[in-house]
Structure 1
Amino acid sequence: MSTIEATLNSKKQQAKQYVKDVYHATEQRNPHETEFLQAVKEIVDSLIPVLARQPQYMESGILERLLEPEKVVSFRVPWVDDHGRVQVNRGYRVQFNSALGPYKGGLRFHPTVNQSIVKFLGFEQIFKNSLTGQLIGGGKGGSDFDPKGKSDMEVMRFCQSFMSELYQHIGPDTDVPAGDVGVSAREIGYLFGQYKKLRGQFEAGVLTGKGLEYGGSLARTEATGYGLVYFVREMLQDKGLDFNGKTVVVSGSGNVSIYAIEKAMEFGARVVACSDSDGCIYDENGINLDTVKKLKETGNERISAYTEKHPNAQYLEDCTQIWTIPCDIALPCATQNEIDEKTAKTLLNNGVKAVGEGANMPSTLEAVNVFVDQDILFAPAKAANAGGVAVSALEMAQNGSKHMWSFEEVDTRLQEIMKGIYQNSIQAASDYGTPDNLVAGANIAGFMKVADAMIAQGVI
């Protein structure tokens, strides 16, 4: 072994030990936060080549600082239901890193929300936001409140109580929340109205995902689903492939899923399945998207009702069965960890050629390893589903300029951003010895921009 090789090997071993020590300390400090630790493990392991080559990141304690949120807010949210009973939920806002700009990340209202989930989402958001090239930091928030089955008045009272605490911690140049699971235009409207009342002024840039009437952006609803397909298209084209004629399965049936289906179909794909938390539908002839939209966007019905309009379609009561349906391209757009190692192997055995993550961390670490080890084209969430936050940042820009762009202008910018994310991720993967590995590439490209900004700004 040459002296140069020995030196490089020594630096890599030092970086490995550093990552191991930092992760162990994080694990000790957050012993029960499994989702957060999963996200941390996936990212820090992929940074070893960067740390070995650029030891200033270790010397500056970048990982230690990056893994600890700048601020975590947890608060009580009391509200009164339609029967006059007092209900109490728990609210969260994690302001993770502001090196690149104000904290930016959605609010999730779902019974499973806890501090671990909010921290995992906020941590991922740092890298996702960095990849967009926009000046936005990473944050996330939410509550264990479940809007499902609640009346509009109940949702309004909850949102007003939630914002009565949150408003103290956010602002157009401080922290800009948006929607996520369980937080749609209705919830954003109630939240914005209460913020406006409490602040006594109209600050359009404090929330994104707003209605078009009061500062929202065209194409925001479609952005995450469209962006996912734009990213996967870049990945496919790099290997001489495309969506045309491919069989596609998309989990979920919310905004991300619906608009991923729409754009994939526009590119010539045959989308044969989608799902909700109760089950999934399989339509061999191709999903009728108009029916899905009517069920989910206007009727708020379960996906099982699809078979009433299309009796030749099959309904499977277990939503996880969607991944047993053979496909060329799988787009998991439902929730975290919906694809485990066994499911990944089923997809592999059924001939899947590409996987694009539309949800946040929908694949376990073991599942990701299956895809990467078997050379399946794999688009990780922090890169592939960044379209939503990218257009949120464009909404902030429009609010700042007090000018509204056309749908076509926003969509064109979105395509450019997703193409840039792909190119930067694939280049970073190549530069640091993991060619074609977009998981490593996205982590590295997102990390370096944040790390350099943190070094430039000093220890704060």
Structure 2
Amino acid sequence: MENTIEKIRDKDPEQKEFHQAVDEVIHSVKPVLDRNFEYRQQGILERITEPERVIMFRVPWMDDDGQVHVNRGFRVEMNSALGPYKGGLRFHASVNLGIIKFLAFEQVFKNSLTTLSMGGGKGGSDFDPKGKSDNEVMRFCQSFMMELYRHIGPNTDVPAGDIGVGAREIGYLFGMYKKLKNEFTGVLTGKSLAWGGSLIRPEATGYGVVYLAAEMLQTRRQTLEGKSCLVSGSGNVAQFTTEKIIELGGKVATLSDSSGYVYDEAGIDAEKLAFVKELKNIRRGRISEYKERYPEAVYIPVSPERDYNPLWEHKADCAFPCATQNEINAKDASHLLSGGVALVCEGANMPTIPEAVDIFLDHNILFAPGKAANAGGVAVSGLEMAQNSMRLSWPRKEVDDRLKQIMKSIHSTCLAASSEYGVEGNYVAGANIAGFVKVVNAMLDQGLV
């Protein structure tokens, strides 16, 4: 195990996020490796940590002033043992190959947990849509798809949205794919309802996070009703996490973006959340504008140089990190403990650093990793693929019921795996073990490929 981790670090020393994701999974599955010598003999660790395919390409595009820019595009097709590659596209200035590999690696196990037939992949670009006009975003998306279309398809690789890629971007990407391939297929998920999208897809990740949190609380005979909650982020996942918490009787006090956060002691109710959706989704404004509309709230700017985030210092019962990777460090974890938090459910991908995870587990905090907690998004993407294949559109209640059932299944699967391998109640180990075993057994069935 340690030899494999060292080889990965030596091979790609700059890919810190990928190393972190691999390290967590490999150490979690040690009991599985100890029990199954065949896995070691067949080089499973080396095979599952090496992408099946890595695609990198340049993306030239022209801004509204006629100036040409060049960004870098990525698609990492990590593992297809369970089905076509499935995973989002992220457009953000921070994107690099290491981040895309970490996301693709996590996606493999997340997709495995959903019970649907999907492999794992991820892609994106260091292009940032923030501050760009619709025409600039369209020209970029069209240029991006002019290369990506060669490598994707409904039975090969089905991308979706992620940070910086919403319904607008998916529409532009799909339009260019359709033009290039001269076919209308379910090659992208997250589409608009009028042309192949699924009801509940925008809400799915956030709703799924809360459905899993509710299942976890039930193990301690509790519900979300009356619970005070801290939510980070203000994008799609944070918005619909907040919406479902409100629906289940909880109170959300915080939302954030890259510049800072708002703390509303009275709670962010449905009316205030509607303002946030309009602010972020339509006007693409900053969360600081929340205080202008609701002066009773407090806005706290947060510098990226700060070694902790004061958002996590507020007293609460539950925390839902929904912003980005590695946003909760050991200091933040200690502040959450001091503030009385008893449950942490990850809406983002790997938002908690390993030392912070250890603090939560050591103090018996209910902690759900992103690969389990935020799997609702890709689960409904899988349901969208099924609807596209049948040329059908399921009603909202049917999709929501399927999502609830999938999250219940993920919860029970994680608990069962943690119990079988002697780490009872550890959702991190349970998620990693359950996802790993399913993927690895499929790989062995398919031979050395």
Q: TM-score, normalised by structure 1?
A: 0.95
* Residue type at the aligned position of 1:261: T
Superposition CA RMSD, Å? 0.8
SS at match of 1:206: coil
1:149 matched to 2:149: no
Number of matched residues?
441
Is 1:231 aligned with 2:185?
no
Aligned to 1:291: 275
Structure 2: stretches of 5+ with no match in the other structure: 304-308
Instruction: Report SS of the residue matched to 1:188.
Output: helix
- Please tell me whether residue 414 in structure 1 is matched to residue 403 in structure 2: yes
Of 322, 333, 337, 1:344 maps to 333
Equivalent of 1:104, from 59, 76, 86? 86
Residue 149 of structure 2: which of 151, 154, 167 is its match?
167
SS at match of 1:331: strand
Residue 442 of structure 1 aligns with which residue? 431
Establish whether residue 23 from structure 1 lines up as the match of residue 5 from structure 2. yes
Once structures 1 and 2 are overlaid, which stretch shifts more, 319-328 or 334-343? 319-328
CA distance in 2, matches of 1:150, 1:333: 24
Match of 1:374 among 363, 370, 381: 363
- 1:303 alignment partner, SS class: coil
Find the aligned partners of 2:285 and 2:126 in 1 and give their Cα distance.
22
2:56 corresponds, among 74, 79, 82, to 74
- Alignment of structure 1 residues 319-334 onto 2, 5 Å: 320-334=309-323
Map 1:32-431 → 2, pairs under 5 A: 32-203=14-185, 205-287=186-268, 288-318=272-302, 320-431=309-420
The CA deviation at 1:294 is: 2.3
User: Separation in 2 of the partners of 1:61 and 1:352?
Assistant: 41
Distance 2:390 2:275 in 1: 38
Task: Report SS of the residue matched to 1:285.
Answer: coil
Between stretches 143-152 and 53-62, larger displacement belongs to 53-62
Worse overlay, 235-244 or 116-125: 235-244
Q: Tell me the secondary structure at the aligned position of residue 253 of structure 2.
A: strand
Compare 166-175 and 293-302 and name the one that shifted more. 293-302
Q: Deviations over 1:387-410 (max 9, x none)?
A: 000000000000000000011100
Q: Distance in 1 between matches of 2:184 and 2:297?
A: 49
Distance 2:138 2:445 in 1: 43
Residue 421 of structure 2 is aligned to residue 432 of structure 1: yes
**Identity over the aligned pairs, expressed in percent?**
60
> 1:290 Cα deviation (Å)?
2.1
By how many angstroms is 1:23 displaced? 1.0
Letter in 2 for 1:264: I
Distance 1:37 1:51 in 2: 19
Instruction: Give the partner amino acid of 1:222.
Output: E
- Output the amino acid matched with 1:289: L
1:344-380 deviation line (CA, Å, top 9, x unaligned): 0111111111000000000001111110111100011
- Alpha-carbon deviations, 1:405-445, whole Å to 9, x = none? 01110000000000000000011001001000000000000
Structure 2: how far apart are the matches of 1:190 and 1:292?
25
Measure how far apart 1:297 and its partner are. 2.3
Q: Deviations over 1:296-350 (max 9, x none)?
A: 2232211111112211110101173211111110000000000001110111111
2-structure distance, mates of 1:304, 1:59: 55
Secondary structure class of the residue paired with 1:155: helix
For residue 306 of structure 2, what is the aligned residue in structure 1?
A: none
Q: Which runs of 4+ in 1 moved over 3 A?
A: none
What amino acid maps onto 1:246 in structure 2? Answer: K
Tell me the distance in 2 between the aligned counterparts of 1:307 and 1:22. Answer: 50
Report how far residue 291 of structure 1 moved: 2.1
Question: How far apart, in 1, do the equivalents of 2:229 and 2:421 lie?
Answer: 32
TM-score by length of 2: 0.97
Taking the aligned partners of 1:162 and 1:155, their CA distance within structure 2 comes to 10
Displacement, 1:31? Answer: 1.1
Q: What's the CA shift for 1:200?
A: 1.2
Matches of 2:394 and 2:343, distance apart in 1: 33
Partners of 1:30 and 1:44 in 2: how far apart? Answer: 17
Q: How far, CA to CA, are the matches of 2:172 and 2:281 in structure 1?
A: 19
Give the superposition deviation at 1:202.
1.2
Q: Distance in 2 between matches of 1:247 and 1:70?
A: 44
Distance across 2 between alignment mates of 1:438 and 1:79? 44
